[in-house]
């Protein structure tokens, strides 16, 4: 399928610095090779370069990032660049996910437990709908897009198209909606539900912000309207419409019936295998669990863990790859891998981790061997999709460089800001030195990023700084997506002056207010202090004209030496360019917004919290203490903690500094 879509790039500026050359080189390179690498320094406008490449090539595009937060930032940027095109967001819809597992050493079985975010699921469904209907589509996704999603053909077969004048028996129409996993609820109309009142059927698609009102006259569709879900007001009259399934994994009665014999045969074979090995407990376990699942499937068409039978339900052979988001793209789509030095290793490792966990379940009779085909793509399967791929990184890995037709450098920043000055400071007594530098930065109303080696270290240091009266917070992977996005927004707005983290601060964050990046224990050679990690961390300070990077180290490791050499090379190229073109460096100015899509953010709660905090600003310390203890008595612990923090700031950090014990003067982290 040869697709040439029209992408309308909207931007108040054009290519600057070496962006124009990079765009030309990449587009020309795709005529000769399927893979290209853009080695772009932080702040050089890689996203804008990619946007121009997308416009020039005119291909449906999948942009892959290694975490949700970075994917959200890219989604927001591409949506601004292409307001007239379909830009979508596709990440894992789990706020919390505990996979099914078994620990043989302690004989502990852990059931699957998950919390699904309905707002993210809505965006996922909207993305696949757009890919089916349109060609001018950009989907920004995390690496979760290589996990099984269900067969595209089965999903498309479940779409319900209808038009004004069509003959539909209302009962058949309802059955079609139920088969698409919509639920009838005549009292409340919410996403994924429909209701019927006389000749009027109202459907709230799971992927939409509006409802559809279908009016019947006997067995004929008389009118179709798009309506507001709250007021019920008609927004648009339509001649035709389609309802897409309320979830991606779709089965049918025929598929379930066809799978039963195969599941039964596999179960019997596994039971006999266990008995022949003298594993009678495992034999009894797999038989009872599978029988229960089969009864649920035959009665309701669904069972807990239905995805473990996806090989049979999808009609796949053993070892066949699962259906994923990538199958919704045409053959000649453009794949963009952002921060490829991190994203590609993640993709390589996902299959092995998933396989090891499930093999343990199979060996001990908790799952049939066919569950192994409910999996992410293998690396060799994913590589087959790289027909037209652009790798992006300030520090590309060896593999992407080796398979690329060319490596295009983009070193010049349009703002004229060179790579930051890098200072080496002894690690002994690093916290004393850091405190002095933090206070200097805060006086200039700028921000600080501090990287530690462990999560515990980031929590302890964050608490210690806070008790000293510094507006500091920690950030790491234990915080959920929304909390991390909000922390970064608070840093930019000035509600937080210092953000302490481990490795989540390295890639993709646009933080022009940050003028100091401090790397504690920089000489502890390892993944977090490797050459690529150090260069990425240094890049966080490359959007502010007064930026500095402090490496706290008692010795110069090979990684430190190489990182400083490369940073110095890039800094010299930028300074030379500035002098030749009469450019005065200027700090980046960018709009402060949440890193997550606006439709994901629940704006009512933060607004109420802000108003509540504002009402306490003028209260005395005595009144604040009284309100804090009242909140404790009412079990309102979050509110009590908020008042405690206000008290801590009011008293200049005179409260107990328990969190800072591991960061006392002269002590290394």
- Binding site for ATP: which residues? 40-47
CA distances to 416, 495, 622 from 609, rounded to whole Å, are 40, 14, 21
Buried b (16+ CB within 10 A) or exposed e, 302-331: ebebbbbbbbbbbebeeeebbbbbbbbbee
Give the whole-angstrom CA distance, residue 452 versus residue 473. Answer: 13
Buried b (16+ CB within 10 A) or exposed e, 97-110: eeebebeeeeeeee
Give the whole-angstrom CA distance, residue 431 versus residue 427. Answer: 9
Residue linked to tokens 């009469």:
582
Report which DSSP code applies to 163: E
Residue numbers in the known binding site are 40-47
Query: Beta-strand (E) ranges in 399-544?
Result: 407-410, 421-425, 447-451, 472-475, 498-501, 514-519
Q: Residue 664 is encoded by which pair of tokens?
A: 């006392």
Contacts of residue 455, Cβ cutoff 8 Å, sequence gap at least 6: 476, 477, 478, 502
Please report the sign of the dihedral spanned by the C-alpha atoms of residue 125, residue 126, residue 130, residue 136: negative
Q: Residue 77 is encoded by which pair of tokens?
A: 């940027």
Contacts of residue 554, Cβ cutoff 8 Å, sequence gap at least 6: 426, 427, 428, 523
């Amino acid at each position: 399928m040869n697709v040439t879509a029209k992408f309308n790039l909207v931007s108040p500026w054009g290519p600057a610095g070496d962006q124009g050359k990079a765009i030309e080189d990449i587009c020309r390179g795709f005529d000769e090779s399927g893979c290209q690498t853009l080695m772009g320094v932080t702040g050089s406008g890689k996203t804008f370069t990619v946007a121009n490449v997308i416009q020039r090539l005119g291909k449906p595009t999948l942009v892959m990032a290694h975490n949700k937060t970075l994917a959200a930032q890219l989604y927001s940027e591409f949506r601004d660049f292409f307001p007239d095109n379909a830009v979508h967001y596709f990440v894992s819809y789990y706020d919390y996910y505990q996979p099914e597992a078994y620990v043989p050493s302690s004989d502990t079985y852990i059931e699957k437990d998950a919390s699904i975010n309905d707002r993210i699921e809505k965006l996922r469904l909207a993305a696949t709908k757009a890919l089916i209907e349109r060609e001018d589509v950009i989907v920004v996704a995390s690496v979760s897009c290589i996990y099984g999603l269900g067969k595209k053909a089965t999903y498309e077969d479940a779409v319900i198209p209808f038009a004004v004048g069509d003959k539909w028996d209302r009962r058949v129409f309802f059955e079609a909606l139920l088969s698409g996993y919509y639920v009838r609820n005549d009292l409340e109309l919410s996403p994924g539900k429909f209701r019927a009142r006389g000749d009027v059927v109202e459907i709230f698609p799971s992927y939409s912000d509006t409802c559809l009102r279908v009016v019947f006259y006997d067995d004929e569709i008389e009118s179709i309207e798009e309506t507001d879900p709250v007021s019920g007001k008609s927004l648009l009259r339509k001649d035709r419409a389609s309802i897409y399934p309320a979830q991606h994994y779709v089965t049918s009665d025929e598929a379930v019936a066809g799978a039963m014999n195969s599941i039964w045969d596999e179960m019997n074979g596994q039971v006999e295998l266990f008995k022949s090995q003298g594993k009678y407990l495992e034999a009894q376990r797999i038989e009872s669990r599978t029988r229960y699942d089969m009864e649920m499937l035959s009665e309701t068409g669904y069972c807990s863990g239905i995805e473990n039978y996806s090989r049979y339900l999808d009609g796949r052979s053993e070892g066949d790859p699962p259906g994923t988001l990538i199958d919704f793209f045409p053959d000649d789509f453009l794949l963009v891998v952002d921060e490829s030095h991190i994203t590609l290793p993640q993709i390589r490792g996902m299959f092995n981790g998933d396989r090891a966990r499930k093999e343990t379940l199979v060996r001990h009779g908790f799952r049939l061997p066919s569950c192994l085909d409910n999996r992410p793509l293998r690396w060799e399967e994913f590589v087959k999709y790289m027909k037209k791929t652009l790798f992006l990184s300030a520090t590309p890995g060896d593999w992407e460089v080796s398979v690329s037709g060319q490596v295009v450098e983009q070193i010049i920043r349009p703002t004229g800001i060179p790579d930051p000055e890098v200072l080496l400071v002894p690690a002994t007594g690093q916290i004393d030195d850091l405190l002095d530098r933090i206070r200097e930065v805060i006086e200039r109303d700028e921000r600080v990023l501090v990287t530690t080696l462990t999560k515990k270290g980031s929590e302890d240091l964050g608490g210690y700084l806070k008790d000293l009266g510094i507006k500091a917070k920690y950030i790491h992977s234990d915080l959920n997506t929304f909390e991390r996005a909000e922390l970064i927004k608070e840093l930019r707005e000035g509600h937080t002056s210092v953000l302490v983290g481990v490795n989540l601060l390295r890639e993709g964050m646009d933080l022009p207010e940050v003028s100091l990046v401090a790397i504690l224990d920089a000489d502890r050679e390892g993944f977090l202090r490797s050459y690529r990690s150090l260069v990425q961390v240094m890049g966080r300070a490359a959007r502010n004209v007064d930026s500095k990077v402090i490496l706290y180290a008692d010795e110069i490791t090979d990684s430190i030496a190489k990182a400083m050499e490369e940073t110095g090379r890039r800094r010299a190229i930028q300074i030379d360019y500035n002098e030749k073109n009469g450019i005065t460096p200027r700090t980046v100015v960018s709009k402060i917004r949440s890193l997550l899509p606006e439709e994901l953010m629940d704006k009512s709660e933060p607004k109420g919290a802000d108003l509540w905090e504002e009402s306490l600003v003028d209260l005395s310390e005595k009144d604040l203490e009284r309100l804090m203890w009242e909140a404790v008595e009412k079990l309102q612990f979050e509110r009590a903690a908020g008042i405690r923090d206000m008290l801590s700031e009011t008293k200049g950090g005179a409260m107990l500094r328990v969190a800072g014990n591991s960061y006392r003067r002269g002590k290394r982290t």
